[in-house]
């Protein structure tokens, strides 16, 4: 298990993708790559979508793609946690950057 600070996580996401809405996460269960915009497009309010994108597969909210996995369930198969104010939060890994 890799644990990083919130600041390290934010720096990595900003470096890779810029604005948080553009950050891409890969579901640990099915491999679906998703962004915050995918959740907004599925009808999730932006304030909630920002929390779901790194812990829930989009398939929990739409049957069009993905699965119903979440990182706060019984089975812990994630590989990264972000530590913030003494609490470790499981997060999906960032998706790989597509090369042109």
- Is the model more confident about 63 or about 23? 23
| Contact present, 12 and 80 (Cβ < 8 Å) | no
Q: Is the per-residue pLDDT at 74 higher than 80?
A: yes
Of 25, 89, 30, the C-alpha closest to 38 is 25
Q: Average pLDDT for residues 85-96, to the nearest whole number?
A: 96
pLDDT averaged over every residue in the chain? 94
Q: What pLDDT, on a 0 to 100 scale, did the predictor assign at position 98? A: 72
pTM, to two decimals: 0.92
Of 76, 75, 71, the C-alpha closest to 53 is 71
């Amino acid at each position: 298990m890799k644990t990083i600070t919130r600041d390290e996580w934010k720096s990595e996401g900003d470096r890779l993708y810029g604005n948080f809405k553009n950050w891409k996460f890969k579901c640990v269960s099915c491999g679906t790559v998703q962004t915050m915009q995918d959740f907004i497009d599925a009808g999730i309010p932006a304030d909630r979508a920002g929390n779901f994108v790194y812990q829930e597969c989009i398939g929990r909210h739409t049957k069009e793609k993905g699965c119903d996995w979440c990182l706060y369930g019984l089975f812990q198969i994630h590989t990264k946690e972000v530590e913030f104010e003494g609490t470790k939060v499981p997060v999906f890994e960032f998706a790989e950057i597509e090369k042109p």
